[in-house]
Amino acid sequence: MNRLTRTAATIRRLRRAGISGLAQRVAARAFRATDARSLSFQLEPADVASAVPEALPVPDPAPSDQPLVVGWVTSPPAAGSGGHTTLFRMVEGLEARGHRCVVFLYDRHGLDVALRTAELRHGWPGVRAEVRDARAGISGVDAVVASSWESAHVVLSRSVEPAHRLYFVQDYEPYFYPRGSEYELAAMTYRFPFRRIALGEMVAGCLRSELGQDSDVVPFGCDTDTYHLPETEAPRSGVVLYAKPDVGRRGYLLARLALERFHRAHPDEEIHVYGSRPADLPFPVTFHGRLTPEELNTLYGRVVAGLAMSFTNISLVAEEMLAAGVVPVVNDSPLARADLADPHVGWAEPTAAGIAAGLAAAVERPDRDAYAAKVAAGVVGRSWGPTQEMVARIVEDEVRGPARG
């Protein structure tokens, strides 16, 4: 093929792709050329553990009559992050029992502690913890708690003083990646000599079956103070999606394909989307952007069903929808079912047709308005209180010793 022929073929491809396609190709080429993917790796090379230690220095048990200082290591929190919200609930639980907490934020690109402190105070006003930069060292604490696989590596590298080390595990994070380096770097952290606290049976089961590791298991909670039926019920219509296109385990592509099928069959049912703005959808949606929990509960009070997709640990969205009277349509899997036993969940085959059918079944119910009250009734009274108390007692037990906790 000569140069003229190649040029003509390129022009034809560009015409077919259009301006948007051209922009995508340019961006993809720049992404590869600049190794921009490396920005997603959240650890400095020096903080990546080269081996699993057999043991780490631990101080003597602390007196049972003195409050503890507990460090929590995490990435900088983003508004609306369910993982950070759950973690900070545990921080509040320790603080309510009279302990002092320190949040150690880690960002390999550096961070402004004052700015991040202000963001944490705004997004999670109940947290009183001091905020520090983990890269300056993790010290002056009785216990330090990792909250993700990256933070577990940071605990190992930046916490050099004797301390009790724990690991609050909210998901089996190797599943976030294809089998490769990041998968193994995540998996190895569950073999660190930390005391593991598994949020739910799915996580505990994976730790046992995949790695042979035991853990303390604490249950999921639900914030029914925020999520509940509206004070005045009105006719419900439409469905809702929490869009996270860049988080593969949340099933955005399948959700999009399912909603396209659903819209063809039920064009009069409004489709609401919140979270990240979706692009190039072949059906109309009402986009709400990022919502506060209170705004989200108001939206839930209007709709019949919602997509609560998750291919690892179950999303908090599912029970929050239930509390507001919304039927959560969830991709059926043993992982998701491990911690979500509510009979009103719309379990769906994880195909576009199966998920669309789950949404259709919800909106086609003749009693869908009355059914909302039945959906919410099974969640009334739930809270995160029991989980907070169990995590606090595990931390106290680890630091003070079981006979003194």
Domain-wise residue ranges, the chain = 46-221+385-400, 239-377
| Mean pLDDT across 53-60 | 93
Res. 358: pLDDT tops 80: yes
pLDDT tens-digit readout, 137-185: 999 999 999 999 999 999 999 998 999 999 999 999 999 999 999 999 9
Res. 344: pLDDT tops 60: yes
The pLDDT of residue 28: 46
pLDDT tens-digit readout, 236-262: 999 999 999 988 889 999 999 999 999
Res. 3: pLDDT tops 60: yes
The fold for domain 46-221+385-400 equals Rossmann fold (3.40.50)
| Mean pLDDT across 119-135 | 96
pLDDT tens-digit readout, 71-86: 999 999 987 788 999 9
CATH number for the domain whose boundaries are 239-377: 3.40.50.2000
The pLDDT of residue 350: 96
The pLDDT of residue 404: 42
Res. 61: pLDDT tops 90: yes
pLDDT-derived band at 19, boundaries 50, 70, 90: low
Query: Do the first three CATH levels of 46-221+385-400 and 239-377 match, i.e. the same topology?
Result: yes
Tell me the C-alpha distance between 325 and 121, whole Å.
30
